[in-house]
Amino acid sequence: MMITTSMLYAAGLKHGVNPHLVVGLAWHESGWQPSVVSSASAVGIMQVMPSTAAADGPALLNRDVNLYDPGDNIDMGTAILKNNLNRYNNDLAKALTAYYAGGAAVTDWGNLRADCRRYVWAVYNAAMMFKDGKGPV
């Protein structure tokens, strides 16, 4: 697990995203398991959709990515998160909602779907847990 957390932390620094947020997002998405594939076909540690990687990999990373490679998966997921933060003026709730449910689900907090609110809080809480040194190592 230490390799994964250091890779997540490094990706946060590389992309200018709070590393604790990256670590917490990955923990919530996959428990840091690189081989996880969701019922929706999201892949790996950061649970990136293959169609998103195919479209956004070249645009955000200037290269194609292999979502089954943990380094590529972490790099892609963190780049998507950074792109969302930029798009939504660093509004964490909107950026995380877009990561979880796509841009069409993004709205003001008061109008946000209940599942999106739960997701945002879960990722935020995981990030704070890691920031405080209380998460798994």
Catalytic one among 8, 25, 28, 29?
29
DSSP calls for 51-102: HHHHHHIIIIISS---TTSHHHHHHHHHHHHHHHHHHTTT-HHHHHHHHHH-
User: Which residue do the tokens 């590529």 mark?
Assistant: 72
Is 94 assigned a catalytic role?
no
Q: Kindly report the backbone phi and psi dihedral angles of residue 2, in degrees, each rounded to the nearest multiple of 5, phi listed first.
A: -60, -40
- Which residues have a catalytic role annotated? 29
